[in-house]
Amino acid sequence: MLFGKTPSRHLDSALEILSDMVINPALLQEDIEKERTVILEEIKMYRDLPQSYVYDLLDELLWPGQVLGMSIIGSSETVSRINRQELDAYKRKNYTPLNIVVSAAGLLDHERLVKRVKNFFRPLKDKTINNFSPVKEEQIRPQLKILPKDTAQTHLALGFHGFKRDHPLRHPLGLLHVILGANMSSRLFNEVREKRGLAYEIGTQVKRFHDTGAFVVHAGIDNHKVEDAIKLILEELTKIKEQPVTEDEFKRAKEFYLGQLMLALEDTFDHMLWIGESTVSLDKTYTLDEIIKEVNLVKRQDIRRVAQDIFREKNLNLALIGPLNGQEDNLCTRLRLS
């Protein structure tokens, strides 16, 4: 993705520069070598950040041997051997009119923008459109992956296979995320950190892709309280499966969910990303009014339905980085949901 933020009077210049980068990249060998060195150092740095690297371990469990399970930055081996010819072939294959979306937000004239985009991207003639690689999800039992490392705290990523981007229950899933771990009023934050002091940081995340998704719990845990923290996290997930959320909690979750979206869309950069991502992934853009209407149709029982569908024992995946030598057997016994 290429993007820029510029005063409206410089829109044409920004479009000209960005389109030229897409259509006519120089791909000079000396620049490739410089960037290769930078990326190789970034890979080393990333692996020295357990709070980030733990997500790569989780993705490998969720989608083993598949594109979604691979690190987007690549590996030292792949980065070291890639060459200019491969980069150029990739560009010619993927940077085609049917694969490009131009998204803009701010002080602009739509018709004029369309004309300028057509003019700048006119040199692109190829009508090829690329298909994505569908995922295979054949998990039949809980999975655990531990990377022993001498860290000050244990980093945890607990994930379940979730819903695709346009799933009918995507908004109840978003509300489940708010209730469990989206902010400092969430259940996991209050129970695991505030009441029990088992974690310094804890929250949840929803990943949405074309044909799949994931619900992730992430935490930084006291090294001596890992088993207790995992036990309590699983208890909270079980609780929301078995007991409906209260009316007050449900109402507050809706307010937060819509409030965050409204605030984000006040920023032209975030608005541009929102409509662009929707167009690329769904070939559709939603208005804020449409989203509000859909969210207001969600019922309390929908939250419980989503939790029951996602939080299944066989779909559980746990990645841990920390000083955990010899604890695998004990941790395996914790990977159970009622």
pLDDT tens per residue across span 237-258: 999 999 999 999 999 999 999 9
How many domains does the chain divide into? 2
What's phi and psi for 10, nearest 5 deg?
-105, 15
Does pLDDT of 134 surpass 80?
Answer: yes
Q: Tell me the CATH number at 171.
A: 3.30.830.10
Q: Judging by beta carbons within 10 Å of its beta carbon (0-12, 13-18, 19+), is residue 317 exposed, middle or buried?
A: buried
What pLDDT is stored for residue 224 in this prediction? 93
Residues 226, 291, single domain; the answer is yes
303 inside domain: yes
Same domain as 190, residue 272: yes
pTM for the model stands at: 0.93
- 245 with 327, same domain: the answer is yes
Q: How confident is the model at residue 105 (pLDDT cuts 50, 70, 90)?
A: very high
User: Can you point out the beta strands (E) in the chain?
Assistant: 143-148, 154-161, 199-208, 213-221, 316-322
- On whether both 195 and 308 belong to a single domain, the answer is yes
Whether 102 is covered by a domain: the verdict is yes
Residue count (the chain) = 338
Domain of 194, in residue numbers: 143-334
Q: Which two tokens stand for residue 180?
A: 């469990």
Q: Are residues 91 and 184 in the same domain?
A: no
Residue 127 lies in a domain: no
CB atoms within 10 A of CB 277: 16
200 φ, ψ to 5°? -80, -40
As a whole number, mean pLDDT of residues 80-96 equals 93
* Mean pLDDT, rounded, for 90-110: 92
- Using one digit for the tens of pLDDT, what is the confidence trace for 58-84? 999 999 999 999 999 999 999 999 999
Q: Are residues 156 and 106 in the same domain?
A: no
192 with 321, same domain? Answer: yes
Kindly report, residue by residue over 162-211, the tens digit of the pLDDT: 999 999 999 999 999 999 999 999 999 999 999 999 999 999 999 999 99
Q: Is residue 268 part of a domain?
A: yes
Clarify whether residues 326 and 190 are in a common domain. Answer: yes
Please indicate, yes or no, if residue 188 is contained in any of the structural domains.
yes
Q: Is the pLDDT of residue 337 over 90?
A: no
pLDDT in tens, 295-319: 999 999 999 999 999 999 999 999 9
- 326 — pLDDT class (breaks 50, 70, 90): confident
Within 8 A by CB and 6+ apart from 308, the residues are 241
Same domain, 87 and 212: no
Contact 145, 61 (CB under 8 A): yes
- Taking all residues of the chain, what is their mean pLDDT, rounded to a whole number? 94
Q: Are residues 34 and 152 in the same domain?
A: no
Considering the domain boundaries, does residue 26 fall inside one? Answer: yes
Q: What is the DSSP string of 49-89?
A: -HHHHHHHHHHHHHSTTSGGGS-TT--HHHHHH--HHHHHH
| 23 has a pLDDT exceeding 60 | yes
Please indicate, yes or no, if residue 1 is contained in any of the structural domains: no
| Cβ neighbours of 55 (radius 10 Å) | 18
Domain boundary among 120, 154, 169: 120
Rounded to an integer, the average pLDDT of 45-66 is 96
Of 158, 182, 337, the closest CA to residue 253 belongs to: 182
pLDDT at 110: 94
Backbone angles phi, psi at 205, to 5 degrees: -150, 140
Amino acid 338: pLDDT: 57
Between the two ends of the chain, the Cα-to-Cα distance in Å is 43
pLDDT number for residue 125: 82
Does residue 194 sit within a domain? yes
Residues 105 and 147 reside in one and the same domain: no
What radius of gyration, in Å, describes the C-alpha atoms of the chain? Answer: 23
Residues 213 and 165 in one domain: yes
